[in-house]
Structure formats: C-alpha cells, structure tokens
A and B are shown apart, each in its own frame.
Chain A
Amino acid sequence: MKYFHSVTLNEDKCKGCINCVKRCPTEAIRVKQGKAHIIAERCIDCGECIRVCPNHAKRAIYDHLDELKKYRYTVASPAPALYGQFNNLNDIDYILAGLLELGFDDIFEVAKAAELVSEITRKKMQKNDFSKPLISTACPAVVRMIKVRFPELMNHLLEVNAPVEVAAKIARKQAVEKTGYKPEEIGIFFISPCPAKVTAAKNPIGTREITIDGVLAISDIYKHLLSVMGKIKNPPSMQSCGLTGISWSYTGGEATALLRSKYLAADSIENVIQILESIEDEKLTDLDFVELGACPSGCVGGCLTMENPFIARTKVRQLRKYLPVAGGKLSDYGLEENSFDWDEKEDSAPIMVLDTDRKKAMEKIIEIQRIESILPGIDCAACGSPSCHAFAEDVAAGNAKEADCVFVMRNKLKNIMENLTE
C-alpha cells in the first residue's frame, strides 16, 4: 500500500518560493517548474512547511464532521491539547458536552489512555532490560524521523501503542459492550493537534491494525465547538482523566509521569535532531528516558491548533487544578502491562544512504564534491534545492542539472560571451 501523507500541497496557491524548502528538517521539498514538490519517502509529516508557508499552499488532509454519518455510533477521542484552546474555561466538561452537541454519542479522552501508557512504561522500565535511554513513541513525526535518519536508534523505541491508539481500542470495546453493535458500526474519531497523527492513524506504527476511523483537526472543529459551547449550561460530569493525562499535551508531561529523575524532555524539530545525534554518539547513556516532540512546547504547538503554544500550555496547566493525579489504572479495564505492545516490529526506512553498494556510494560522494566545488556555496535555493550541498546531491542523483544553478549558468554565459568577443 502506498504510504499516505497528511501533509500535501495545494498547487494553485503555491508560488514556488523557498520558505518550505529551507525549513524542511529532512530536505524533503524541492521547487520544480515553479511549484513545490514533496518527496514522499523523506517527508515525516511534522508540519514545519505548513507553519512557514506564507501562501497557505501547504496543508494537512484530515476528516470532517460529516464523516460521522457513516457510523451507527460514534465516539470522540480528543487529544488533551484541545483543552488548552479556549478562553475563560475552568471545566473540561464544557468541551466534552460540546462534542456531544456536535453529534458524537460518547467520549473517550486520550488523556485517560495516556495515563495507562505511563503506567505501562513505568512497569516496563522497572525490569531494567531496555536500551538506555528509552525513547518515547508518542510523537509519530519523531518516530518517523528516527526511521529515516537515525535507523541505529530503532532499538531504543518504546514499543507500546501511542495513547491515541490505546484510547481507540478501549473506546471501541466499551462501545460494543454498551450498544451491542458490531465493531465496524462504531466510528472512533480522534481530534488531532497535528498532521503527523493523521498520517499515523492511516499508517499505524508498530501494528497493521487500523484502530482509528477518522481524524478531525482541532483547528477545524474549534469553530463548531465555540458555537455550541456558549449555549451549554451545567454540563454533565464526564471528564474522567487526571492531571497526569492532560500534562501529556506539553513537553515534560510524559517524562515526569514516569516518576524517575534521569530523563530528558525536548521539543521542536531542531532540538529533536540534536538530541538524537547525541544519543547516537553515546553522550546520553546515563539517562533512562527521553521524551521528544516535533512541535514547539509539545502537542499544544501542533500546526492544527489555534492558540499560541505557550498560552495553550498555561491554560492546560490551570485546568490541572483540583484534578486527581490519574483517572484510572490498567486493572480498572482488566488490562495488563503487555496489552498494548507492538504486534509488529517497525523497520527503518533510511533515506540518507546514497547507494547500497559502498563503492558506488563513494563514487557519488566524489561526484558531489566535484559539483559542490563549482557552486557558490551561498545556499540561495533559487535552484529549488535547500542548499548548495543538497543541489549537488540532486545533480549527482540525476534529479537536477548543473545549469539549474543561476551562478553556474551565469559563468557559462560569461565564458560564451568572452569566447565571442575574442
């Protein structure tokens, strides 16, 4: 099956500028014939290009509320980042009641599932039989970054379903028990802060089983929620997660829930890359756990959210008041420590290697060095590649021509002119 990407391009809006090309952390974008093109194997769906595109030509594909009609019974599974989007909100129940108003039949908070993943991780770490440091798998953009750029670190991954998958599995089971409908008649809809989680729902990590039926964007559902939430008075009490679960929405939430001191929690894609380099160079072997999120401040900084990440984080923190530490534990659901283990190993998908034959790879490097030596080295990206080095690689791979560089072209023209005048 072709790998689905949530991040896509609206060609009509693309002006062929180089903002996204320069910003992409995996050098996955090139401008060709005046339009941006995404190289599917390299894209990790982090959404950096969506954030920087001045023409809003980069967009995320996600599902819409009318998809609910396809199912007899629907469950909304909101990411805790949703809770940080609203002004003057002191009770999560208003949001949950709003979701029911929009047509959902029930709610299962991802924050609740996150608490179970915390419990599972704590139990697994007690056994002490993991490659230090263990790396969180909650952010699918980070997992894909490791797959494509840091394949050597695959054995550090926490091989447990992400909270969104855990939530969907439990929610479907509970809905079947409650309604007596068939599992396929139940629609589980995740409300997502980012495109990476839309992609992960369609191409699940650590399993082939699709557990999520639809993914809605926080930014899309926000306006619908605002219009119904204003009318809600005294919402029923539904909110049932603890402060541990909602803290997963920002950096450090997952790591601190492990109750261990030797951890590192970092966010933003540039930091993620630096930390992964350090783990690779064995500079962080004294740590037990590393939490990494591709977006600034964590999930609250996802490019499908509304609020500034720092404000959203503060709002979520204020909602933590009066919440219990956790809303539930595995035994409440009859679940075990291994109930959500990956059922399939993830393979790496390295994009860096120039050729599997090392001699051929060497020849390519020599050719890349030769091409680079005639380039100006100013990384203007006018050729459509992110840097002079990336352009040299593109030429060596046959994906670009030397004359696509305006400086090379200018020198060629100059030589022709000089030859003519002689």
Chain B
Amino acid sequence: MEPIKLSFNVDGENFVSAGEASTAVKTTLKKMGFPGDTVRRVAIAMYEAEINMVIHAHGGTVDVEICPDKIVIVLADKGPGIPNIDLAMQEGYSTAPDDVRSLGFGAGMGLPNIKKYSDDLEIETELGVGTTLTITINC
C-alpha cells in the first residue's frame, strides 16, 4: 500500500508558528487510530526537530510518510550544518542564541530527545550547506 504523504514548509522567520506541522501530523495519526504511545513519540520527536530547524537553520521542509507499521519524517534545511554531531547529541550541549534561550528553548535536549523517542535517526550534515534528519518511528 502506498504510504500517506504529508509535506510542510517550516517558516524560519516566524517562531510563533513553530510546532504547527507536528500538531497537524499528530492529528492525522490520531485519526488513523495509531496507538497513543506512537502518536506521542512522533509528536515529540518531530516537534523538537521542527524547533531546531527554526532556531538554527531559518526553517526548511518536512516530509512525512505514514505506513501502517512505521512513520518516517524527513526534515531538510539549508542551514549552517552541525560541526560536531557527537557534541550535539550530548544532553545539555547547546549553541542556541540567548534570545531563544530566554523563550525557554535551547536547553540542549533537542537531538538527544529526538534520538530517545525514535527507533532510527539518520543525520546528514555538511557545513554551510545544510542538514537532513531522517527520523523513523516503528509501530
């Protein structure tokens, strides 16, 4: 069966709308009757990735593929890239600017949380070119 495809543009200029795409995906998954635990993992992992995209990369695109047994989320941006993935994966490590931190974001839990809630996480990144995250959550 062909997977269901959902696509979103994440606006990097508008911090207020960050999180809209993950809420829309969550609603679709609920309508499809996915178990609550799966819905929650997708919602949290995708929210964190969406916020990261706004904070670090001025937005980007999100493509979601929903199959009966798994959900694959691909987040692509044309941001600065991640210089050191091992450091970025450490809890509490953050390069977020102060104005973002003052909003309660940038606690250095983004990537660690995405890893924690997903079954598979692939990161492709090139300095100055951009980053693509592929998150897979099985059901």
Contacts and interface: CB of A to CB of B under 8 A. Distances in A.
Interface of A: 151-152, 277, 280-282, 352-356, 358-359, 361-362, 365-366, 369
Nearest to A365: B4
Interface stretch (B36-44, B54-62, B85-93, B128-136): B36-44
B28 A365 contact: yes
A282 B32 contact: no
Interface in B12-55: 23, 26-28, 30-34, 36, 39-40, 43-44, 47
Contacts of B27: 352
B103 interface: no
B74 interface: no
Nearest to A354: B31
A358 B33 contact: yes
Contact of B2 (A280, A282, A358, A366): A366
A354 B43 contact: no
Given A359-B1, A362-B66, A281 B31 contact: no
A281 B30 contact: no
Nearest to B32: A361
Contact of B36 (A151, A354, A358, A362): A151
Nearest to B2: A366
Interface of B: 1-2, 4, 23, 26-28, 30-34, 36, 39-40, 43-44, 47, 66, 68
- List the 3 closest pairs (A to B, CB-CB), nearest first: A152-B36, A353-B33, A361-B32
Contacts of A359: 1, 68
A235 B30 CA distance: 56
Given A152-B39, A152-B40, A369-B4, A281 B33 contact: no
Nearest to B30: A352
- Most chain B Cβ neighbours within 10 Å, of A282, A359, A362: A362
Nearest to B66: A362
Chain B: interface secondary structure? helix
Contacts of A362: 1, 4, 32, 66, 68
Nearest to B43: A281
A358 B34 contact: yes
Contacts of B30: 352-353
Contact of A358 (B26, B39, B68): B68
A181 to B, nearest CB: 49
Nearest to B37: A152
Given A152-B39, A152-B40, A366-B2, A281 B47 contact: yes
B35 to A, nearest CB: 9
A354 B33 contact: yes
Nearest to B27: A352
Contacts of B66: 362, 365
Contacts of B34: 358
A358 B32 contact: yes
Contacts of B28: 365
Given A362-B1, A365-B4, A353 B32 contact: yes
B36 A281 contact: no
B32 A281 contact: no
Given A277-B23, A281-B47, A356 B33 contact: yes
A282 B43 CA distance: 10
B41 to A, nearest CB: 10
B68 A281 contact: no
Contact of B32 (A152, A354, A369): A354
- Most chain B Cβ neighbours within 10 Å, of A354, A355, A358: A358
- Most chain A Cβ neighbours within 10 Å, of B27, B33, B40: B33
A362 B36 CA distance: 17
B44 A282 contact: yes
A371 to B, nearest CB: 14
B110 to A, nearest CB: 14
Contacts of B68: 358-359, 362
Contacts of B23: 277
A361 B31 CA distance: 8
Contacts of B44: 281-282
Contacts of A354: 31-33
B43 A365 contact: no
Contacts of A355: 33
13 contacts: A152-B39, A277-B23, A281-B43, A281-B44, A354-B31, A354-B33, A355-B33, A358-B34, A359-B68, A362-B1, A362-B4, A365-B66, A369-B4
